[in-house]
Chains A and B, each alone.
Chain A
């Protein structure tokens, strides 16, 4: 006998799943009836079958690994640089004065526009892509960290100062822990950005990865592979986002938002 909360959770899951299933079935029937050319808009079952085939024969693996490592490398580099920079901007007047305008003026630039410049600097291969992902992820991480560190209640700072905490220790032991929730918001935004930029940079400058796999499918006019790859891209984006959300519960369970 399921408990009431379990049952309500089940019913909300059902209200979400059933309509999606209906849409997918409608898609299947409309395309099966060949109202549209199946080589232009294939049935869902054929896309899923292609997806399974591409996974089972290992074709998906290498591009997936390429996209994933570039996205994660760029993201981690952005965290390593962005968090200290954001903390510094939030706590040191001169850093705020210097960096804040630079970040807010560069913010509206679609960082993807830097691809040709980065290819000149870092070459056609992985490095230019990782650097672009790094650049794009840096913005949400720096801005969220900065706002977190700046919005910190001064009481904590005073009490730490009263105990004779030095500036470096203050940043590390007081400002960083108190800004973690905000930093994590930035990381969650950046995870989605990282996958997106990885895929687009592969579509533009080629080489390898899921983005390139899609472009190649386009060149061969292979809609099923294009759809199947799109499914893989969406799945890893979704999985990384969910992973980040799950990690948040693990890492920040002690955090209680200040009223």
Chain B
């Protein structure tokens, strides 16, 4: 335990060194204010953002967009991936569509979706869902396809129905690959979210960064940028911790 804390502290030390150098450079007047605000200024801007409730309301707006898009992608993606792996006709119908969408950089779809669905939440959620869908479908498809046939045979030999087979054998066996695809989708959701909020929006963390940056309030802007980085890190850690609990039977080593 003590060794772990010491190790963690040693890992954090470079971050503190950079922060200290940044603050010191500011104190000595080596860093002009227009270039970069002092860490202390960023911290107090962060405090103001928290106290005014601005951060909470915009976090909620962003998380709602990203969360809905992501959830749709995970549900549809896993369903589609499993069906494609089990039903040849569905694979034949869906694969060419995926092949067409695959090489498109997803944030480049934002303007098209704005034409179709307007500049509100709907177009953002749709792009996020589409961007997150691909890694989930591909991972699920690969996972469900490579299920050990021995597992399928022995389940069938015991008279397991096809429906039950899907739920009790195919999905659990594909879970490690699905989990990796979903993890990629989390990172993609945040990138597409911020891009879409930069391009057009009246709320959300991307909007907050963009509007503070636009009026030259660099301390508040940096505070939101760092907060966003922390949020991304936290979501990934929470996901991995959750996975470890669910998949304690599997060596999901990270």
Contact = CB atoms under 8 A, between A and B. Distances in A.
B108 A199 contact: yes
Contacts of A241: 103
A86 to B, nearest CB: 16
Interface in B61-117: 92-93, 95-97, 99-100, 103-105, 107-112, 114-116
Contacts of A63: none
Interface stretch (A14-22, A166-174, A247-255): A14-22
Nearest to B116: A40
Interface string A45-68: 000000000000000000000000
A203 B209 contact: no
Interface residues of A, number: 50
A105 B229 contact: yes
Chain B interface residue bracket vs A: 35 or more
Contact of A121 (B35, B187, B233): B35
A81 interface: no
A34 B206 CA distance: 37
Contact of A109 (B15, B193, B225): B225
A218 B115 contact: yes
A119 to B, nearest CB: 7
B15 A101 contact: yes
Contacts of B187: 108
Contacts of B191: 110, 112
Given A23-B97, A230-B112, A112 B194 contact: yes
A72 interface: no
Interface stretch (B132-140, B144-152, B154-162, B215-223): B215-223
Contact of B115 (A102, A113, A223): A223
Interface in B173-225: 187, 190-191, 193-195, 198-199, 206, 209-210, 212-214, 216, 218, 221-222, 225
Contact of A223 (B100, B108, B112): B112
A98 B13 CA distance: 8
A113 B100 CA distance: 28
A152 interface: no
Given A40-B116, A110-B190, A116-B209, A199 B225 contact: no
Contacts of B27: none
Interface of B: 10-15, 17-18, 34-35, 92-93, 95-97, 99-100, 103-105, 107-112, 114-116, 187, 190-191, 193-195, 198-199, 206, 209-210, 212-214, 216, 218, 221-222, 225, 228-229, 232-233, 236
Interface of A: 16, 19-20, 22-24, 40-41, 97-102, 105-106, 108-110, 112-117, 119-121, 192, 195-196, 199-200, 203-204, 211, 214-215, 217-218, 221, 223, 226-227, 230, 233-234, 237-238, 241
